[in-house]
Structure 1
Amino acid sequence: MQTVAAAVTMVRDDAFFLKAWLRHYGEALGRENCYIVNHGRGAEVSELAQGCNLIGIPGDAHKNFDMKRWRLLNNLVHGLRSYYDHVIVGDVDELVVVDPQTGQGLLDYLRDQPIRRVLTPVGLEVIHRIDKEDAPVTDHILGPRRHVRLAPHYSKPCIVSTGTKIARGGHFTQASKLFAPDPLYLLHLKFCDFGNYVTTMNARNAVTAQTGASVQDASIGRHWFAEARGEDRAVFEAFADLSMEKGFDLGWVRKRMHRTWKERGETGYWQFDRPDIARQYVLPERFNGLI
């Protein structure tokens, strides 16, 4: 039984992303080291997550959903740190991967990492280039999908091995030193498949509508609201306009993160600048089948 790393998430009915999360962390860490908060006690989530540690909670819609969610996740991370060296925490559509060129899987990589720190992988959004990629996503996402765009917003401090508080949304912690190892990436899957995007957004818009709150009144991500959604096909067609970069060297991204590292006002949190960078890359073939 390994005590190197555990993974924690919360999910509500997102079977597409949960299957990917379970394939990735279940295989990398063992399902017995995966902790899933089942928001609404969904039967499908319970079925898919057999062998994992499942925590069922009420699913009532609430305008402060995100605030309540991260309060729970923070406390789960604090507790699990007593039993594991590292705890990976994040949304169900966010997966931490290690560059295969290291020759190590996620567990072996983390086994070699010092504790008492927070690791921040570089964030990349897997995008479905609907003008180029016709193959459906089945057992694996990477392969049918090879394009990624830079996403500083998703360079999250999500691998925790020290006592710290994580901000709502998981974007900041109170750890004052930045560790962004070269081989680590956080892949955000929201835009990895056009058909699933439409289905998922319909469901999330329905949840926020039940709260009766506006974007301004709610502690819920703006992207969950229908008024902030935009036209779905236009969102995906716009990926073709992103500047295509050669190679896959993102060392300059990590250098910028370190260069702009600073306190986040008087909140107690720390941050780096997160500008919008309209660039895309093709993932090297070594990533195929990784998730």
Structure 2
Amino acid sequence: MQTAAALTMVRDDTFFLKLWLHHYGGLLGRENCYVINHGSGSRVADMARGCNVIGIPGDPHRNFDMKRWRMLNNFVMGLRCYYNHVIVGDVDELVVLDPEAGSDLFSWLKTVPTNRVLTPLGLEVIHRIDVEDERIEDYVLGPRRHVRPAPHYSKPCVVSVGTKIARGGHFTQYDKLHTPQHLYLLHLKFCDMTAYSDAMDRRNAVTAATGASVKEAAIGRHWFAETRGEDHEVFAGFQALRMQEGFEMGPLRRHMHRSWAARGSTGYWAFERAETDTQYLLPERFNRLI
């Protein structure tokens, strides 16, 4: 059995795909990276050379998320036959290991028992446009150092057991919660205002092509133009988040465990996703990690 594979699905999001490929391709080797190319775009195929690229049709569909996660579920379960761990998520989500652990993610995964689901703590990298002028080229962390807690992105995304993953990747039917101390999921949607605007233009076009409203479609609300707001105001608003001293994430993980419970009668398990109005400065040891 190989140690780990990474799996994502992407449609024309080349800014985030570049970061995803640099991160997982460097850690796991491109031969262990699986990119589902929604729409079989040539730019995605060219960028992901050396990975396992799977082209699929890109026709607009109002049940996009349901179809996508049904397929990802099946891919994850298939890859488990050949890998101890499968990391699955959106192209703008990267699992990282705090350098304080004294290891890289791949080496650390070699030591992690199988037959479980790992849930990294979700942190959203935010572009503080008032103080961060440097453009993102090869690395995000360094030019961007601010993060806000994102319980919505504390996803059960490192899978080594047979289970079902819910639409969006937010829940599984695995009934135990494993939140390793140094493991994080960094959500990059807001890491750069220009990249955000470009990505939202594309996603708004996808939802418009379905002809469905927010209530009629199985697609995240954040993909719809009517929920978008004004981009500059969104990023300027990050200044109002309360800056916290230090980088102590233990209380956030403990809250996850205290509220862990079955999600009704769905078969899924979850913790309470309490939103906060806080932000943190990442320690310098994270610079150039992604």
For normalisation by structure 2, the TM-score amounts to 0.99
Shift of 1:103: 1.5
For 2:36 and 2:240, the matched residues in 1 are separated by 38
Q: Which residue of 1 aligns with 2:282?
A: 283
Q: Which residue of 2 aligns with 1:147?
A: 146
1:96 aligns with 2:95: yes
Shift of 1:34: 0.2
Q: Which residue of 1 aligns with 2:269?
A: 270
1:209-267 superposed Cα distances (whole Å, 9 cap, x missing partner): 00000000000010000000011100000000001001101000110000000000000
Shift of 1:101: 1.0
The 10-residue stretch of structure 1 (98-107 or 151-160) with the greater mean CA deviation from structure 2: 98-107
Q: Which residue of 2 aligns with 1:69?
A: 68
1:36 aligns with 2:35: yes
Alignment of 1:40-59 (within 5 A): 40-59=39-58
1:2-61 superposed Cα distances (whole Å, 9 cap, x missing partner): 710000000000000000000000000000000000000000000000000000000001
For 1:88 and 1:199, the matched residues in 2 are separated by 26
Aligned with 1:85: secondary structure? strand
For 2:160 and 2:130, the matched residues in 1 are separated by 42
Flag structure 1 segments of 5+ consecutive residues without an equivalent.
none
Q: In the alignment, residue 172 of structure 1 is paired with which amino acid?
A: F
Q: In the alignment, residue 14 of structure 2 is paired with which amino acid?
A: A
Q: In the alignment, residue 181 of structure 2 is paired with which amino acid?
A: D
Q: Which residue of 2 aligns with 1:253?
A: 252
Aligned with 2:83: secondary structure? coil
Q: How many residues align?
A: 290
Q: Which residue of 1 aligns with 2:223?
A: 224
Shift of 1:102: 1.2
Q: In the alignment, residue 53 of structure 1 is paired with which amino acid?
A: N
Aligned with 1:169: secondary structure? helix
Q: In the alignment, residue 288 of structure 2 is paired with which amino acid?
A: G
Q: Which residue of 1 aligns with 2:214?
A: 215
1:189 aligns with 2:188: yes
Aligned with 1:97: secondary structure? strand
Q: Which residue of 2 aligns with 1:60?
A: 59
Q: Which residue of 2 aligns with 1:78?
A: 77
Q: In the alignment, residue 273 of structure 2 is paired with which amino acid?
A: R
For 2:46 and 2:55, the matched residues in 1 are separated by 13
Alignment of 1:92-131 (within 5 A): 92-131=91-130
Q: In the alignment, residue 115 of structure 1 is paired with which amino acid?
A: T
For 1:109 and 1:258, the matched residues in 2 are separated by 23
Q: In the alignment, residue 17 of structure 1 is paired with which amino acid?
A: F
Flag structure 2 segments of 5+ consecutive residues without an equivalent.
none
Q: Once superposed, which parts of structure 1, at least 4 consecutive aligned residues long, lie more than 6 Å away? A: none
Q: Which residue of 1 aligns with 2:155?
A: 156
For 1:215 and 1:193, the matched residues in 2 are separated by 26
Aligned with 2:239: secondary structure? helix
Shift of 1:78: 0.2
For 1:13 and 1:64, the matched residues in 2 are separated by 19
Shift of 1:161: 0.3
For normalisation by structure 1, the TM-score amounts to 0.99
For 2:163 and 2:12, the matched residues in 1 are separated by 29
